[in-house]
Structure 1
């Protein structure tokens, strides 16, 4: 199908619906938390928990949210060495400020995710299925997206040392605001939007993918 002049469609991201009053709560594996405020330290196990209308602050070594269900939540100013959201179900999550060593979203099902002004060493979206992602003002050392299925995703004012898009299935994925030093596979960028400058930078990779030798 031919793209329209409005392509790429912008992500449809709305703020999480948070109540005015939040009660402090303690983390636990499989916990069912509603309208809670979590202050996390050390090593935290919230795997397979349910978090709805929650806020999270953290200065932690590890936070495990594998398989968790997260609806209308916010993480602000967190410092976490490893934040694991593998296979999680996410609907309206906002992550603002702070520093995260590894942010593992592999295999996650994502509907509305905003990441703003966060420094991330390793962002893993491998195998994730995501709709409506807004990533802005972020420094990402390594961005992995192998076998991900992403729709309506936009990067703005962000940088990355290395991007791995191998096997990416993309629709309305806007990479114009991502200043990446290298892409591992330009042929996997089908469905994305790039600036003319980015295309010039990637020309050698495009040529190699087509079996073209470029010599001066």
Structure 2
């Protein structure tokens, strides 16, 4: 499980952070910058963030297509209608944040932790997720259609209207989920591990997919 410090001061690069002021710009490189309590909108496609901290940052209708986030720590963020298509995330943590109406198709996430976050209406179709943890999160209307998920887990998380149709799963552990709301039923679950109780909950959908009629009398 990737490391995810709870406090800004616990970051290995905390002593290097410098306050950032001003807008985000396309193709700009931000290194050891601290974005605190700022609000952004507009275009910053191709921007690069290395060893940065974003605390209390609000993004509204911001374009961050093909942006790169490497060793980035996000806390208390609110991102609404943000374009993150084909963005790249590595060795990063997102804590206590809200992501709504996000376009993240084709994104790549490697060794990323989401903790106590709310993800609603998030499009991750065709995305690549490797060693990603959703811990104590709410995933509502999240679309992983056609995505590739490897070594992904969801401890303590609630999944509502999560779509896995056409996804490729390997070592995906869903046993820790509080709820598995999968409107597509068992489609896309090949390669996932679920618990016995979850299997019973999904049994009607499995029966329907197999064309089985279950009657007790």
Common fold, TM-score beyond 0.5? yes
What is the distance in 2 between the residues matched to 1:80 and 1:167?
27
The 5 A counterparts of 1:1-216 are 12-15=1-4, 18-25=13-20, 26=22, 27-39=24-36, 40-57=38-55, 58-178=57-177, 179-216=179-216
Q: Secondary structure at the match of 2:200?
A: helix
What TM-score, normalized to structure 1?
A: 0.87
Work out which structure has the larger RCO, using CA pairs closer than 8 Å and 6 or more positions apart in sequence. 1
What TM-score, normalized to structure 2?
A: 0.86
Contact 1:38 1:55 in 2 (8 A): yes
Summarize the Cα distance change of 1:37–1:159 in structure 2 as closer, same or farther, 3 Å threshold. Answer: same
Contact 1:74 1:94 in 2 (8 A): yes
> How far is 1:17 from its partner?
5.0
Q: 1:5 aligns to what?
A: none
> How far is 1:64 from its partner?
2.6
What is the distance in 1 between the residues matched to 2:40 and 2:29?
21
Q: Which runs of 4+ in 1 moved over 6 A?
A: none
Structure 2 stretches lacking a partner, 5+ long: 5-10
What is the distance in 2 between the residues matched to 1:97 and 1:120?
11
What is the distance in 2 between the residues matched to 1:66 and 1:165?
23
What is the distance in 1 between the residues matched to 2:47 and 2:167?
29
> How far is 1:109 from its partner?
1.5
Going by fraction, where is strand more abundant, 1 or 2? 1
Q: Secondary structure at the match of 1:62?
A: strand
What is the distance in 1 between the residues matched to 2:176 and 2:2?
17
What is the distance in 1 between the residues matched to 2:12 and 2:85?
23
> How far is 1:42 from its partner?
4.2
Structure 1 stretches lacking a partner, 5+ long: 1-11
What is the distance in 1 between the residues matched to 2:59 and 2:167?
31
Aligned residue pairs total 205
> How far is 1:203 from its partner?
1.1
In angstroms, what is the RMSD of aligned CA positions?
A: 1.8
Contact 2:166 2:187 in 1 (8 A): no
Contact 2:119 2:140 in 1 (8 A): yes
What is the distance in 2 between the residues matched to 1:70 and 1:60?
15
Q: 1:7 aligns to what?
A: none
